[in-house]
Amino acid sequence: MTGPADSDLWFPTAPGPVRAVPAAQRGSLRGRRVVTGTPGRGWRCDLRADDPVEQDGRAFVPVLAEHDWYRAELDDTDVFAPLVPVERVWVEQPDAAAGSAEPPANLLARLVTLDAPPLRIPVPARDMPALTGRRVVVVSPETVRRDVRAASEPYENDDGTICLSVCAEPDWYRWAFAGRPADCTEVPVYLVWAE
């Protein structure tokens, strides 16, 4: 039986996975999260890009570790960015069309090809053995918040709810290089997924 109160019910669902697409197929790259690597070898994540530049007729993408990206952006500082050939850069983008996906249940289900960066499937925070510092996604009826970091492990608050402290990613990195603690928000752990 469905009544008026039932329409107010909301149950969290896992956010969609993160898919890496070739940077050459994207427009502006400034500030975008990217993956670099070489097919057949491996991948480097937690990087940010700037718009491509051209040298000797080839396109290169300036790529920085996120820590350096945020330091440059927040302190308005110049930072040396290695130039990576555009064909070795992929842009991370949430794939909402894919819907939620279940994390692989075992090692054999986790096997990937080394042809391109793997799909990153969010894992419920409650299933992660360590969360502090990880990229997380917070869901609510209104939005899916990405670019968030876990600032604590799960804990029980005064109301008995198991929660996690989270902060915006720029605050997380400012905390690292300026020593100013991040402004954190308490979020019930059942609304958080680790990327």
Neighbouring residues of 51: CB distance < 8 A, sequence distance ≥ 6: 28, 29, 30, 62
pLDDT score at 6: 56
Confidence of residue 43 (pLDDT cuts 50, 70, 90): very high
pLDDT score at 1: 36
Query: Could you give the angle at the alpha carbon of 110 between the alpha carbons of 109 and 111, nearest 5°?
Result: 95
Whether 172 maps to a domain, the answer reads: yes
The stretch 120-140 carries a mean pLDDT of 94
Determine which helix (DSSP H) or strand (DSSP E) holds 76, and give its type and residue range: none
Confidence of residue 98 (pLDDT cuts 50, 70, 90): low
Lowest-confidence range among 6-15, 131-140, 143-152, 176-185? 6-15
pLDDT score at 11: 85
- pLDDT value at 7 more than 70: no
- pLDDT value at 2 more than 70: no
Whether 53 maps to a domain, the answer reads: yes
Q: What percent of the chain has pLDDT above 70?
A: 93
Residues 14 and 101 in one domain: yes
- Which among 39, 151, 137 is positioned nearest to 95, based on CA atoms? 137
- pLDDT value at 23 more than 60: yes
Residue with tokens 């991040």: 182
Q: What pLDDT, in 10s, does the model give residues 53-69?
A: 999 999 999 999 999 99
Whether 19 maps to a domain, the answer reads: yes
Residues 129 and 115 in one domain: no
**Burial state string for 38-75 with b = 16 or more CB within 10 A and e = fewer than 16:** eeeeebebebbbbebeeeeeeebbbbbbbebbbbbeee
Determine which helix (DSSP H) or strand (DSSP E) holds 124, and give its type and residue range: strand 123-124
Q: What pLDDT, in 10s, does the model give residues 138-171?
A: 999 888 999 999 999 999 999 999 999 999 999 9
C-alpha 175/C-alpha 112 separation (Å) is 35
Structural domain of 93: 10-121
How many domains in the chain? 2
Q: Count how many Cα atoms sit within 13 Å of the Cα of residue 179 in the half-sphere of its side chain.
A: 0
Residues 136 and 195 in one domain: yes
What string of DSSP letters covers 80-120?
---EEEGGGEEEEEE-GGG---PPPSSHHHH---SSSPPPB
Of 91, 121, 151, the residue at which a domain comes to its end is 121
pLDDT score at 117: 93
pLDDT score at 106: 81
Residues 146 and 158 in one domain: yes
C-alpha 123/C-alpha 135 separation (Å) is 11
Q: What pLDDT, in 10s, does the model give residues 75-90?
A: 888 888 999 999 999 9
Residues 153 and 164 in one domain: yes
